[in-house]
Amino acid sequence: MEGAELCFPQLLNSSCRKPMLHWSEAVLLNTALSFISLITVILNLLVIISVSHFRQLQKPTNILLLSLAVSDFLVGFLLIPLEIFRSTACWLLGDSLCTFCSYIACVVLSASIGNVVLISIDRYVAICKPLHYPIRITVARVKFCVCLCWLLSVVYIILFLRNEFIQSGKSNSCIGECELSITFTTGTVDLFISFLFPVAIIIVLYMRVFMVAVAQARAMNASVTAVTLQHSVNLKPKKSELKAARTLGVLVIVFLICWCPYYSYSVISGDLPSTSYASFLFFLFYFNSCLNPVIYALFYPWFRKAVKLIATLQILHPAGQHFVEIQRTN
């Protein structure tokens, strides 16, 4: 009976025990997470196809949304299924593949945070410095920043997991386990680089955006002289920019709600043990990848129109008319 509970019965002294979940809990957990994974993949794939296919949607802000959708797609396509497998079954794929999967997960999540920071910077320039926006924020520069974001994530995670690459599986307490353990110093440095510093930038920029948006709303409702009004027309951001700032503000708030509990718990406890509560927090910030495209669907008419064209296969028709229809809703 004891051997039946082990991942590798022939290794009685070094084998891990199989995850012990009641069959109803396992079915419910796997069904819910599989559904979230499927929805995450489908919705983010729609965002990727929309921005990639329709050229008139390839604006700086949408390029950033495309990059975020790519990272969210990878979360649904790779990370959530791997996490389901890791938490509900013995890890039978070896230490090297465990380290590689951990590396991919860290790169994707690091790039997601970088994308949200870039979105915040984009909205800050658009709202607070509208006259400089067309000059400073171009499609070419945004693409460069996106590539740089992913490249820095790749390099940073190599440094972050260098000990795991040197000796794969050193964090595992037994055979059949896939865990990632880091030192206190490394974890503290990563907390500041990967979370506290980016979140501070996001909050400061959006506080500034919020104050400017409120000031503009008051100015539009106030009775001012014709000279002042004419002067403000040239300086104030467009209504569409304010709407985009509000939409992306919702995205950032949802991002913070999904990510802050996990990092807060890890700071308070000093580590993230394998508890049901910790697992809930872990999947909460994965669930953020499913919510992002839902936010686009609620607030962006161009996304709803693009999804309709994709679902009805009208994108297979010659360009022309549906390009114009997308442009009207953009």
Residue 324 has pLDDT above 50, yes or no: no
Which range among 55-59, 73-77, 165-169 has the greatest average pLDDT? 73-77
At position 58, the amino acid (one-letter code) is Q
Residue 267 has pLDDT above 50, yes or no: yes
Q: What is the pLDDT of residue 227?
A: 42
Dig out the tokens for 137 from the structure: 């924020």
Residue 125 has pLDDT above 50, yes or no: yes
Closest CA to 125 of 111, 148, 144, 141: 141
Query: Cα separation of 84 and 278, whole Å?
Result: 14
Average pLDDT estimate for 229-255:
62
Please give the share of the chain, as a percent, with pLDDT higher than 90. Answer: 21
Angle at 123 between CA 329 and CA 235, to 5 degrees: 90
Please list, in sequence order, all residues whose beta carbon lies within 8 angstroms of the beta carbon of residue 131, skipping any fewer than 6 positions away.
234, 235
Query: Cα separation of 173 and 269, whole Å?
Result: 20
Residue 287 has pLDDT above 70, yes or no: yes
pTM: 0.83
Question: pLDDT tens digits for 91-110?
Answer: 888 888 888 988 998 999 89
Q: What is the pLDDT of residue 320?
A: 42
User: Which has the higher per-residue pLDDT, 202 or 12?
Assistant: 202
Closest CA to 247 of 102, 70, 84, 68: 68
Q: Specify whether the CB–CB gap between 89 and 19 falls below 8 A.
A: yes
Q: Specify whether the CB–CB gap between 168 and 99 falls below 8 A.
A: yes
Average pLDDT estimate for 126-141:
89
Average pLDDT over the chain, rounded to an integer: 78
User: Which has the higher per-residue pLDDT, 169 or 67?
Assistant: 67
Query: Cα separation of 108 and 153, whole Å?
Result: 8
Q: What is the pLDDT of residue 143?
A: 95
Q: Which domains does the chain have, with CATH numbers?
A: 23-297 (1.20.1070.10), 300-330 (no CATH)
User: Which has the higher per-residue pLDDT, 85 or 232?
Assistant: 85
Residue 211 has pLDDT above 50, yes or no: yes
Residue 231 has pLDDT above 50, yes or no: no
Q: What is the pLDDT of residue 55?
A: 83
Q: What is the pLDDT of residue 169?
A: 73
